[in-house]
Amino acid sequence: PLEKQTIKAAVNKFNSYSCVKFLPRTTEQYYISFIRGSGCYSHVGRRQVAAQPVSIGPGCAKVGTILHEMLHAVGFFHTSSRHDRDAYVHVFLDNVVSSYEHNFWKYKQSEVHHLGAPYDKESLMHPPRLSWSRNGKSTVESRRMPSEVLGRVDDVMSDIDVTQLNALYQCPNTRSE
């Protein structure tokens, strides 16, 4: 099936960025389980459950979307959750579908570590301007240039995404795409 092929492509791409590797499960007690859920989602960071689900639901079987959910699973929040986001973007909660407002919660510096990286509007973890819009209006915009593209339009992690991933897991910063 296409979904399995796309998940494999995303896993291979992820594995090329870092010493953090997603490998087929053998006997591990704790593991990531890609499921066909009701949407695209993952908990942030490791959960103390045997099978930690990463949902790849309808419309989610894209390499970039799967990479995004994998980054959640290894501990990454949305870039727009950083404590310093207001210096870089405007968030318009009035335009967000209420059940998705959590995607724009702003966390304290002690809760979301950016590992010394600058704010990355090109991150795979940055929501695009119309994410979860309830009315077709922007939910997040660049302060510098409101029409600026936010997030990724391709299926790759930004250089800063890779640097942060490798810093978090103390990997050499190599990229073998």
* Active site positions, annotated: 69
Q: What type of residue is 16?
A: S
Residue 112 neighbours by CB under 8 Å, 6+ apart? 77, 81, 82, 83
The 8-class DSSP code of residue 136 comes to S
CB 117 within 8 A of CB 164: yes
Residue 14 neighbours by CB under 8 Å, 6+ apart? 20, 22, 67, 70
CA distance 79 to 106: 10
Establish whether 78 is an annotated binding residue: yes
Structure tokens at 168: 């978090």
Establish whether 72 is an annotated binding residue: yes
Establish whether 68 is an annotated binding residue: yes
Q: CA separation (Å) from 132 to 27, 94, 104, 165, 166? A: 38, 11, 10, 26, 29
Residue ranges of the binding site for Zn(2+): 68, 72, 78
- List the binding residues: 68, 72, 78
